[in-house]
């Protein structure tokens, strides 16, 4: 039997703020309570939505740690928990779905046996009481039986529709949710698993669905609020949702972060906490730049830019639902809950601006539409992007050079095949007339992005970026800088990506504390900046 850490997790400054601190969540709460007092309504306890990622529920010990965090938060106010699949499970489900599509039915029994064993073993380590365990085991068996039917159907038809893939890939969250709810119950805090298919309503865009917030708000009030009022912690499946007709959808890979802020916005939560396996948002992915430093505070815009440009720590849409209301999002380490983590707010860290972090995206493809007629083709951009929009392919960078008679843009490699096909169709008449010579793709690239608010306030960021990479002999094949100046993005060869990140991290002294970065540059550097 796994031993729970039942004591309250070390309280830190942030948690103390609920009652008497100085930070945003208190201010929000004070305002709400002031309003409540005027209207003679009962005071509102603070509501926190907290999400645990795959590694944070990776095994029984991790789930027990997550449950202890939930318990200590539940002692302070209302909590809604969002949970991902146990780490690696979603990848295994997707892989099995593709193998079943290829007619390999042997994978089905193997995967289901492994998942049953893994989740049952975890359950046994978490729940002492046999009848309670049997109840959870029954719900796990029902989900696994559904998975078996879905995979058998796929193998039989040798067809994997986006709709079926959503049903299959979302199974992991349906297996992990009852485990975490059981672990929270085990600590004496009443908790129930809830399927997000009953709460988050989305459009029918399988694999990348977007929430319908009005309907979600109504469902969240109906399904979650009554539980909160009774002091029960709902543990909601991340990643998955359903259309208004109840057809299962998913929010895209890494989508549990998005589930958390969708629910946070729908319920008017005071904050959302994303518990993960790193200390917060770092100045770069620590797997690429080991000396990356944790950022104390960052703005919605900066964090969104990082997420959009590949920082896996956040799903790209995570901040959308909470930005308008200005609700803070925290990124914290479930393996080190005593650390404060990163706070994401409207203003971010107010001291100045400049380069805050770097990010890189691999698994991207540069698409080029080229030919002698491109210059005269006034609607080439409109037609290209109508094609990508129809596929909901995210365009990460665009560059046009009329002298070279081509436009190029970068999309996720997962969208490469469909995008090339759609573009060839869109430009079929021009291809026949040879006004457009080719629609080609290159997947041997990566995007490196330099991110920070108010970069225009710090002269020469672009110059320093190019000079530093030039000194290292790193070739840049396309550049884009948005007018918002939140980022400068560069396309480099995939195999030069890490070198580019290490070089730029040093160049912008990102391993030093923020206050040091804001200090005046050395005279030599300042001159170089002005020149560039
Ligand atoms: P979870 O399973 O908790 O959702 P993810 O693996 O999706 O966690 O995201 C956390 C990972 O994101 C970290 O382990 C880290 O390698 C990666 N990452 C990429 N960029 C950053 C960054 N700028 N700051 C922190 N982590 C980052
Ligand atoms: N389990 C899903 C994935 O692996 C969602 C998530 O982890 O946020 O993509
Ligand atoms: Mg994630």
Pick the atom of ligand 1 nearest to 274's CA.
Answer: 3
CA dihedral 412, 418, 424, 427 (to 10 degrees): -70
The answer, yes or no, to whether any atom of ligand 2 lies below 6 A from the CB of 172, is yes
Dist. CA 448–CA 445, nearest whole Å: 10
Dist. CA 74–CA 46, nearest whole Å: 10
DSSP letter (8 states) at residue 202: B
**SS3 state at 122:** helix
The answer, yes or no, to whether any atom of ligand 2 lies below 6 A from the CB of 195, is no
What is the number of H-type helices and E-type strands within the chain? Answer: 20, 16
Q: What six digits make up the tokens of 21?
A: 């601190």
Q: Which residue has its alpha carbon closest to ligand 2 atom 7?
A: 254
Dist. CA 125–CA 134, nearest whole Å: 13
The answer, yes or no, to whether any atom of ligand 1 lies below 6 A from the CB of 276, is yes
pTM: 0.85
From 278, 281, 362, the mutation candidate for ligand 1 (largest count of ligand atoms within 8 A of CB) is 278
pLDDT digits (tens, 9 = 90+) for 48-74: 999 999 999 999 999 999 999 999 999
State which residues of the chain have pLDDT below 70.
Answer: 1-45, 350-353, 401-404, 456-457, 482-484, 514-532
Find out whether 451 and 309 touch, Cβ atoms under 8 Å: yes
The answer, yes or no, to whether any atom of ligand 1 lies below 6 A from the CB of 285, is yes
Pick the atom of ligand 1 nearest to 334's CA.
Answer: 3
Burial track 54-85 (b if 16+ CB lie within 10 A, e otherwise)? bbbbbbbbbbbbbbbbbbbbbebbbbbbbbbb
The answer, yes or no, to whether any atom of ligand 1 lies below 6 A from the CB of 186, is no
In angstroms, what is the span from residue 305 Cα to ligand 3's centroid?
16
pLDDT digits (tens, 9 = 90+) for 345-397: 998 876 566 899 999 999 999 999 988 777 777 788 899 999 999 988 889 89
């Amino acid at each position: 039997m796994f031993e729970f850490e039942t004591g309250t997790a070390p309280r830190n400054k942030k948690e103390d703020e609920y009652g008497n601190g100085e930070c945003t969540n208190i201010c929000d709460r004070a305002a709400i309570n002031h309003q409540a007092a005027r209207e003679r309504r009962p005071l509102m306890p603070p509501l926190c939505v907290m999400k645990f990622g795959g590694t944070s529920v990776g095994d029984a010990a991790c789930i027990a740690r997550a449950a202890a965090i939930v318990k200590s938060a539940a002692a302070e106010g209302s909590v809604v928990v969002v949970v991902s699949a146990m780490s690696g499970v979603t990848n295994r489900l997707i892989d099995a779905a593709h193998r079943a599509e290829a007619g390999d039915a042997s994978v089905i029994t193997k995967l289901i046996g492994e998942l049953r064993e893994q989740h049952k073993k975890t359950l046994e380590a978490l729940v002492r009481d046999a009848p309670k365990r049997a109840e959870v085991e029954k719900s796990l068996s029902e989900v696994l039986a559904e998975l078996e039917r879905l995979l058998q159907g796929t193998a039989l038809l040798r067809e994997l529709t986006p709709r079926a893939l959503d049903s299959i890939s979302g199974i992991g969250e349906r297996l992990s949710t009852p485990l975490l709810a059981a672990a929270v119950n085990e600590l004496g805090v009443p908790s129930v698993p809830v399927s997000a298919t009953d709460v988050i309503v989305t459009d029918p865009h399988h694999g990348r669905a977007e929430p319908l917030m009005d309907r979600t708000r109504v469902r969240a009030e109906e399904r979650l609020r009554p539980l909160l009022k009774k002091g029960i912690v709902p543990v909601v499946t991340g990643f998955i949702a359903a259309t208004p007709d109840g057809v299962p959808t998913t929010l895209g890979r890494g989508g549990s972060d998005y589930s958390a802020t969708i629910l946070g916005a729908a319920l008017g939560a005071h904050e959302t906490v994303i518990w993960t396996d790193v200390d917060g948002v770092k100045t770069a992915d620590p797997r690429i730049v080991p000396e990356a430093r944790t950022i104390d505070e960052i703005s919605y815009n900066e964090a969104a830019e990082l997420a959009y440009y590949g920082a896996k720590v956040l799903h790209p849409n995570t901040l959308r639902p909470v930005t308008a209301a200005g609700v803070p999002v925290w990124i914290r380490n479930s393996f080190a809950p005593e650390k404060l983590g990163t706070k994401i707010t409207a203003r971010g860290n107010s001291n100045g601006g400049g380069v805050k972090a770097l990010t890189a995206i691999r698994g991207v493809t540069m698409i080029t539409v080229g030919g002698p007629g491109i210059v005269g083709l006034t609607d080439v951009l409109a037609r290209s992007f109508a094609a990508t929009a129809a596929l909901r392919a995210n365009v990460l960078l665009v560059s046009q050079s009329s002298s070279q008679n081509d436009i190029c843009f970068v999309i996720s490699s997962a969208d490469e095949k469909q995008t090339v096909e759609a573009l060839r169709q869109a430009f079929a008449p021009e291809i026949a007339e040879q006004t457009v010579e080719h629609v080609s793709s290159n997947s041997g690239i990566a995007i490196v992005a330099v991110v920070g608010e108010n970069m225009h306030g710090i002269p020469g960021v672009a110059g320093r970026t190019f000079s530093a990479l030039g000194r290292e002999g790193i070739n840049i094949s396309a550049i884009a800088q948005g007018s918002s100046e939140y980022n400068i993005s560069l396309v480099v060869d995939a195999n030069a990506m890490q070198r580019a990140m290490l070089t730029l991290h040093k160049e912008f002294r990102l391993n030093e504390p923020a206050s040091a970065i804001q200090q005046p540059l050395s005279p030599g550097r300042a001159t170089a900046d002005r020149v560039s």
